């Protein structure tokens, strides 16, 4: 078969596989709910600041502590700021945190895993001890420690979380690289004396992309939750930022008198994390070869 | 076996070396004035100078690295800025409370998770299985600080059944182990026992909910695999009652892979405990860490991180060894 035909066949079958995955996700009630909630969340992230009825930072003490109602849907906080508007503005912080943490985690992890796997007899042996060391800390504990060292701010918290997020990706990429290195096309490329960089970027990396993307999508909900926890502990976004975790922390001392100040922003974190985990669960199922085979036969 | 043990021990030592080095780097090499961070923002130049001298910060970096190790080997992690007590003393004082909470949460997770997993496996793809799947996903998605606030609102503020904190002020209980539920039993103090349990329920639920999900999913997966295996079919065909097959053959074997996720669970338990301790004012190391975050008490935070990493490494070491001993395949391979 000429190379060009092979590429076309390969692409169309890949497209078909992708369509099947989407279909399976939509057929699964759990992941369907996840997809719908995520769609709403993305909508809020993009249009939230436009839709917000009030200025999220406008302080008006005469409007303070108003419970949820027709005028203020989610009530107001201690300084009279509209919680609904604040949450619409804060949505993008959660989304961006998730994207940055997972994105940086993938970038660092893939780089280290790829180099370690390619030079697995020499430098890789040493480099792959790094994830072992990082995984010796529970993620949250290491993130707290780094964030404290860097000083509390959203940027520093994001750096800290990215630094704790890469080890699983490095391990995954290392394993993938090792198995791809055994394939005939990489051996062939080696006999052609192609440079290591070229082999890594042109042959190994593209073939390891899908397991990495899958893992990243499974971790997304977890990353958003971690960011919210750091925000809650006062290590992430600082006041007056409308970050959801920080809003819960600000309201928590007034829980018994003004429950809405902490409970409502917290429920948004819960819903978004749940939606991403619902979707992740559906993705895991949709890629299960047993389920795929049954559906293909239909 | 001994070779494997040795190898595993060496890895643990490498990890501990790495952990201490990471601590050293974050403390000394980052482009940040450690002395002013440690002494506090209101320090006078003389205080800063004294601090640098006391901690040997005016020495070459290699000498500092060596001194750092000799301190750690002597069990000296510095002094807390917030309380002016030794970091090690603080950690040792507060660790039992965290241990108690983590243990209660793990027990809760096992008691809830195992039956859920078994039933899900037996009724695969039926409504109970779907319910359990959603329940597990809820468990791992719920921010436990938020869950904690909800619990506080309903069970403490509205109903007043469960209480935040560790033990009520009016109850006196002399410390034996530091685990108040255990101490009250050992002392035969029934009132203290009831009080301790009322305090323990909410935080252990808040931490244990996520753990339940992990355990039930793991049990379900391994149970399904085992129920379809030949030896279960053989046992059934020999006319052994299903309950015996289920509990004696299937459940016992499906617990083995669960041991292997214990390491991950301990990480989750510790992380969860930190947040739950903050919400419920539970006086464990997580609560101490939180108070230290607020005061930028860096030696305490580093000591806390180091301590948790050591505990976590030791636990995963024993989990791996136990797994090796329990799993016949690995056990035979080691001979």
Gyration radius (Cα) of chain B, Å:
24
Q: Give the whole-angstrom CA distance, residue A182 versus residue A120.
A: 12
**Nearest Cα residue to A247 out of A99, A85, A55:** A85
Parse chain A into domains and list their residue ranges.
27-297
B290 interfaces chain A, CB cutoff of 8 Å: yes
CB A115 within 8 A of CB A124: yes
B330 interfaces chain A, CB cutoff of 8 Å: no
Measure A62 CA to nearest chain B CA, in Å. 26
pTM over 0.90: no
Name, in order, each residue with C-beta under 8 angstroms of B39's C-beta and a sequence gap of 6 or more: B47, B48, B51, B81
Q: What percent of chain A has pLDDT over 70?
A: 93
**Within the 169-228 window of chain A, which residues sit less than 8 Å (CB to CB) from chain B?**
221-222, 225, 228
Confidence of residue A113 (pLDDT cuts 50, 70, 90): very high
Query: What does each C-alpha distance from B249 to A102, B124, B252 come to in angstroms?
Result: 41, 19, 6
pLDDT of residue B334: 54
CB B275 within 8 A of CB B62: no
**Within the 178-217 window of chain B, which residues sit less than 8 Å (CB to CB) from chain A?**
none
Question: Is the bond preceding A240 in cis, omega lying within 30 degrees of 0?
Answer: yes
Name, in order, each residue with C-beta under 8 angstroms of A12's C-beta and a sequence gap of 6 or more: none
Q: Give the whole-angstrom CA distance, residue A120 versus residue A31.
A: 38
What are the tens digits of pLDDT across the range A132-181? 778 877 888 888 888 887 778 899 899 989 988 999 999 999 999 988 88
Confidence of residue A3 (pLDDT cuts 50, 70, 90): very low
A281 φ, ψ to 5°? -60, -40
pLDDT of residue B55: 64
Contacts 24+ apart (CB under 8 A), A48-54: A48/A88, A48/A89, A48/A91, A48/A92, A49/A88, A49/A89, A49/A92, A51/A88, A52/A82, A52/A84, A52/A85, A52/A88, A52/A89, A53/A82, A53/A84, A53/A85, A54/A81, A54/A82, A54/A84, A54/A85
pLDDT of residue A2: 46
The number of angstroms, rounded, from the C-alpha of B184 to the middle of its chain's C-alpha atoms is 23
Q: Give the whole-angstrom CA distance, residue B12 versus residue B4.
A: 12
| Digitized pLDDT (tens) for each residue of chain B, 335 residues in all | 677 677 777 777 777 777 677 767 766 655 455 566 666 666 777 777 777 777 666 777 777 778 778 887 887 887 887 888 889 999 999 999 999 999 999 999 999 999 999 989 888 888 888 888 888 889 888 998 999 999 999 999 889 889 888 888 777 778 788 788 888 888 888 888 888 899 999 999 999 998 998 899 888 888 888 888 888 888 888 888 888 888 877 888 888 888 878 878 888 888 888 899 999 999 999 999 988 888 777 778 888 888 888 888 888 888 877 877 777 666 666 55
Of A140, A228, A259, the CB nearest to B274: A140
Query: What does each C-alpha distance from A173 to A108, A118, A164, B197, B266 come to in angstroms?
Result: 11, 10, 16, 46, 25
A139 interfaces chain B, CB cutoff of 8 Å: yes
Write out chain B residues lying below 8 Å of A30, CB-based.
130, 133-134, 137
Q: Give the whole-angstrom CA distance, residue B250 versus residue B271.
A: 32
Gyration radius (Cα) of chain A, Å:
23
Of A234, A248, A255, the CB nearest to B152: A255
**Within the 226-255 window of chain A, which residues sit less than 8 Å (CB to CB) from chain B?**
228-229, 232-235, 245, 248, 252, 255
A67 φ, ψ to 5°? -70, 160
pLDDT of residue A231: 92
- Judged against a pLDDT cut of 70, whether residue A27 lies above it is answered with yes
What the block records as the tokens of A22 is 């989407």
First and final C-alpha spacing in chain A: 30
Query: What is the residue whose two structure tokens read 């389920």?
Result: A291
B143 interfaces chain A, CB cutoff of 8 Å: yes
B304 interfaces chain A, CB cutoff of 8 Å: yes
CB A247 within 8 A of CB A75: no
The interface predicted TM-score of the complex, written ipTM, equals 0.85
- Judged against a pLDDT cut of 50, whether residue A261 lies above it is answered with yes
CB atoms A233 and B157 under 8 Å: no
**For helices B252-280 and B298-326, what crossing angle results, to 10°?**
170
Of B22, B271, B316, the CB nearest to A133: B22
Query: What is the residue whose two structure tokens read 């940055």?
Result: A100
**Within the 144-173 window of chain B, which residues sit less than 8 Å (CB to CB) from chain A?**
145-146, 149-150, 152-153, 157
Query: What does each C-alpha distance from B13 to A244, B5, B16, B73, B315 come to in angstroms?
Result: 40, 12, 5, 13, 13
Which CATH topology does A27-297 take? MetI-like fold (1.10.3720)
CB atoms A148 and B275 under 8 Å: no
- Judged against a pLDDT cut of 60, whether residue A298 lies above it is answered with no
Measure A211 CA to nearest chain B CA, in Å. 21
**Nearest Cα residue to B218 out of B120, B316, B144, B318:** B120
pLDDT of residue B239: 83
Q: Give the whole-angstrom CA distance, residue B310 versus residue B72.
A: 12
DSSP 8-state symbol, A78: T
* Superfamily of domain B90-300, CATH level 4: MetI-like (1.10.3720.10)
CB B306 within 8 A of CB B85: no
**Nearest Cα residue to B218 out of B332, B99, B327, B109:** B109
CB atoms A266 and B149 under 8 Å: yes
- H helix or E strand, kind and range, residue A232: helix A205-232
CB atoms B145 and A221 under 8 Å: no
**Nearest Cα residue to B323 out of B256, B223, B266:** B256
CB B232 within 8 A of CB B226: yes
Query: What is the residue whose two structure tokens read 């961070």?
Result: B37
Across chain B, the runs of DSSP E, i.e. the strands, are none
């Amino acid at each position: 078969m000429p190379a060009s035909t092979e590429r076309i066949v390969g692409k169309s079958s890949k497209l078909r596989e992708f369509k099947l995955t989407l279909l399976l996700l939509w057929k699964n009630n759990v992941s369907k709910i996840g997809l719908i909630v995520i769609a709403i969340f993305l909508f809020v992230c993009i249009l939230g600041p436009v839709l917000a009825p009030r200025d999220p930072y406008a302080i008006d003490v005469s409007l303070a502590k108003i419970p949820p109602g027709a005028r203020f849907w989610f009530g107001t906080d201690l300084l009279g700021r509209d919680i609904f508007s604040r949450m619409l503005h804060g949505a993008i912080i959660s989304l961006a945190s998730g994207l940055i943490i997972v994105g940086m985690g993938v970038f660092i992890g893939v780089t280290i895993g790829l180099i370690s796997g390619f030079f697995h007899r020499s430098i890789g042996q040493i480099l792959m001890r790094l994830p072992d060391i990082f995984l010796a800390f529970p993620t949250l504990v290491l993130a707290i420690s780094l964030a404290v060292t860097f000083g509390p701010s959203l940027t520093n918290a994001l750096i800290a979380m990215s630094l704790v997020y890469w080890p699983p990706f490095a391990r995954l990429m290392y394993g993938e690289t090792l198995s791809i290195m055994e394939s005939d096309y990489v051996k062939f490329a080696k006999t052609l004396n192609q440079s290591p960089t070229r082999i890594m970027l042109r042959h190994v990396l593209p073939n390891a992309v899908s397991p990495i993307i899958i893992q990243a999508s499974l971790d997304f909900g977890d990353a958003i939750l971690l960011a919210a926890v750091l925000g809650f502990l006062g290590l992430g976004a600082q006041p007056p930022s409308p970050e959801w975790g920080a809003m819960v922390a600000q309201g928590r001392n007034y829980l018994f008198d003004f429950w809405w100040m902490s409970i409502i922003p917290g429920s948004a974190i819960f819903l978004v994390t749940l939606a991403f985990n619902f979707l992740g669960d559906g993705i895991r199922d949709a890629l299960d070869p047993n389920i795929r085979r049954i559906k293909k036969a239909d | 076996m001994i070779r494997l043990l040795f190898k595993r021990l060496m890895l643990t030592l490498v990890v501990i070396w790495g952990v201490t080095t990471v601590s050293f780097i974050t403390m000394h090499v980052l482009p940040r004035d450690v002395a002013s961070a440690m002494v506090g923002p209101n320090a006078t130049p003389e205080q800063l100078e004294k601090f640098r001298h006391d901690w040997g910060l005016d020495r070459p970096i290699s000498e500092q690295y060596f001194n750092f190790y000799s301190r750690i080997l002597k069990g000296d992690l510095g002094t807390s800025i917030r309380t002016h007590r030794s970091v090690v003393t603080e950690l040792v004082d507060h660790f039992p409370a965290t241990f108690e909470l983590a243990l209660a949460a793990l027990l809760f997770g096992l008691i809830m998770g195992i039956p859920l997993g078994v039933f899900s496996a037996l009724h695969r793809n039926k409504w109970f299985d779907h319910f359990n799947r959603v329940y597990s996903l809820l468990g791992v998605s719920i921010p436990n600080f938020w869950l904690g606030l909800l619990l506080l609102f309903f069970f403490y503020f509205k109903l007043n059944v469960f209480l935040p904190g560790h033990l009520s002020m009016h109850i006196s209980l002399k410390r034996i182990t530091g685990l108040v539920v255990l101490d009250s039993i050992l002392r035969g103090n029934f009132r203290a026992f009831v009080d301790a349990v009322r305090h323990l329920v909410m935080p252990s639920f808040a931490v244990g909910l996520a753990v339940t999900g992990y355990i039930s999913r793991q049990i379900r997966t391994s149970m399904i695999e085992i129920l379809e295996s030949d030896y279960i079919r053989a046992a059934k065909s020999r006319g052994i009652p299903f309950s015996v097959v289920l509990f004696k053959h299937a459940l016992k074997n499906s617990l083995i892979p669960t041991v292997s996720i214990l390491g991950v669970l301990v990480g989750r338990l510790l992380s969860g405990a930190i947040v739950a301790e903050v919400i419920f004012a539970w006086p464990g190391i997580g609560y101490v860490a939180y108070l230290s975050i607020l005061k930028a008490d860096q030696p305490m935070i580093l000591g806390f991180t180091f301590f948790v990493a050591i505990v976590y490494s030791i636990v995963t070491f024993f989990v791996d060894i136990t797994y090796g001993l329990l799993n016949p395949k690995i056990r035979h391979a080691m001979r």
